[in-house]
A and B are shown apart, each in its own frame.
Chain A
Amino acid sequence: DAKTTQPTSMDCAEGRAANLPCNHSTISGNEYVYWYRQIHSQGPQYIIHGLKNNETNEMASLIITEDRKSSTLILPHATLRDTAVYYCIVRPKKSGGGADGLTFGKGTHLIIQP
Chain B
Amino acid sequence: DVKVTQSSRYLVKRTGEKVFLECVQDMDHENMFWYRQDPGLGLRLIYFSYDVKMKEKGDIPEGYSVSREKKERFSLILESASTNQTSMYLCASSLTSGLSTDTQYFGPGTRLTVL
Within 8 A of B (CB), among A91-107: 91, 93-106
- A114 beta carbon closer than 8 Å to chain B: no
A103 near B43: Cβ-Cβ < 8 Å: yes
Smallest CB–CB gap between A46 and chain B, Å?
5
- The bracket for how many chain B residues form the interface is 20 to 34
A94 near B100: Cβ-Cβ < 8 Å: yes
- B80 beta carbon closer than 8 Å to chain A: no
Find the A residue at minimum CB distance from B48.
Answer: A99
In the bound complex, residues from chain A placing their C-beta under 8 Å from that of B100 are 93-97
Binding site for B on A (CB under 8 A): 32, 34, 41-46, 49, 91, 93-106
Binding site for A on B (CB under 8 A): 4, 30-31, 33, 35, 42-45, 48, 50, 58-59, 88, 90-92, 94, 96-98, 100-109, 111
